[in-house]
Structure 1
């Protein structure tokens, strides 16, 4: 009997998440036969949900199976959805919890982790979700161990992925677990997606632009204006007419981080903009951002984004037309 995969479609389901899961585990397109001969599909895939279910793109899906299919699932997949923080049907949550208790593999894609959290299957687990929802997720499920910038997390019987296209990364990982690397590689060739992407979600995350507030706002604005200059604690303290010790204490109180950590984070953000939008060399980006050398910029860039400056530019800069 084929391994049964049940994909749960909920109101506002992200169509891309659902499609990636259905394509990764469902019937292979005819072109797959040019890569691998497959006499029978390895999974029995069911999509379940309410009749005429609305999606995140505004259209409805019909002919969905009943949610009772979850009681026979070997793998349960919950795609992301438009408003993941909204309370879900208690009966659905109980069914997911029961599937987990009997040993089914439980998978969430993107914001689907909120549904698993409501079902109580994430307590004590290492999990991830879309990086932009990290704050809301931590507040809602403090007993889960959120790995904010991971593409996906495999915590044994519970697996979770980051933002929408990270769903493909996790699905390929599951195929690798079930059928080996060669099989996952062949499916990735159909998807035109690498079997494993280097780096995590951090390279896609941005720092939201927020107005500078608090007593140190003028000092922080001066620092942003002078990011390319040396900004040691002593230098900034002289500008602020404070002792270094007083400035550091007040800075941690207002921002929750050290002055140097704040400077490093904003220099990385400056470098990201320059790498994406200008033709400056990596060396010039390093100096313009205030890092002083390419080696120092690379170290901080890897820390904050999980990618090197050159890899980041390759990923986020439009290729030159020829």
Structure 2
């Protein structure tokens, strides 16, 4: 039987905390495969944790990590410093056991120095902050979870379920993982990465070429070229490329591809247009071209994306 220690840091996210308890508990419904412990650092004030209207007390202190086979660090409030004793315990545990994180729990692993030189992920909203605070970590903002052997990280909320099911499969095989997935009523594996869940917000183009970008967005269905884009802005192709590099941070054609993908996402989420119509509306011309670019950027096919966000 494997021991799973769930380390509740100050400001722990309640849902993230429950994910490993539920998944590893479900994997032990018929056969006792896991012992799950919720642990906290007494040095953080007490082992009592509060989240929203919920108050709970962790039955184990940091000594609960001493013989754990797996330590899972749920997400927590990044405004609250990690207790040094908890970081020390993570460093000690990582020498002999597997350590995993859910959502912002990756920040604790990074603060302990465990992710230096490794690819890691977290919730897409905090990916840039993780990179800023811990530049030695290679942040992969589009992944649902990443496996570095004995160190694993996952994105926000539901990705923690994905990660824990993956770990059950790694420990006990696909059949046990599939049984556990049925118990918690979720798919054993989700296609794609985080890119499909990043909320689309129209860019705030506080630049000199903002009017041009608006005009181009209104013409996405047309066969735009560098020459026609430059003509729409009343400038040369060379000037267009320079201004995009300076003010947008990408080439005109890279920006155009992203704008078309973003518009396709909106249409897939909010309309019942056939895929060929969506392709035509955003300027890809054919469903094949739409599927190619959409899958490369978003990580799933247009039909799968629509099914996720419209339930169709």
| TM-score in terms of structure 1 length | 0.91
Q: 2:151 aligns with which of 150, 158, 170?
A: 158
In structure 2, the residue matched to 1:12 is: 11
In structure 2, the residue matched to 1:54 is: 50
In structure 1, the residue matched to 2:208 is: 215
Q: How far apart, CA to CA, are the structure 1 residues paired with 2:281 and 2:232? A: 21
Q: 1:234 aligns with which of 215, 227, 230?
A: 227
Q: 2:186 aligns with which of 183, 193, 198?
A: 193
Q: How far apart, CA to CA, are the structure 1 residues paired with 2:175 and 2:85? A: 39
Deviation larger for 58-67 or 177-186 = 58-67
Q: 2:36 aligns with which of 45, 62, 67?
A: 45
The structural deviation recorded for 1:84 is 2.5
Q: How far apart, CA to CA, are the structure 2 residues paired with 1:180 and 1:156? A: 16
**Where does the alignment leave 5 or more consecutive residues of structure 1 unmatched?**
none
**Where does the alignment leave 5 or more consecutive residues of structure 2 unmatched?**
41-45
The structural deviation recorded for 1:237 is 0.7
Superposed, 1:1-322 pairs within 5 Å as 2-26=1-25, 32-33=29-30, 38=31, 41-49=32-40, 50-55=46-51, 57-81=52-76, 83-84=77-78, 86-100=80-94, 102-319=95-312
The structural deviation recorded for 1:208 is 3.3
| TM-score in terms of structure 2 length | 0.93
Question: Any conservation in 2 of the 1:84–1:115 contact (CA below 8 Å)?
Answer: no
Which 4+ runs in 1 deviate beyond 3 A?
207-210
Deviation larger for 115-124 or 238-247 = 238-247
Question: Any conservation in 2 of the 1:162–1:201 contact (CA below 8 Å)?
Answer: yes
Equivalenced residues, count: 307
The structural deviation recorded for 1:85 is 5.4
Q: How far apart, CA to CA, are the structure 2 residues paired with 1:63 and 1:89? A: 15
Q: CA RMSD in A?
A: 1.6
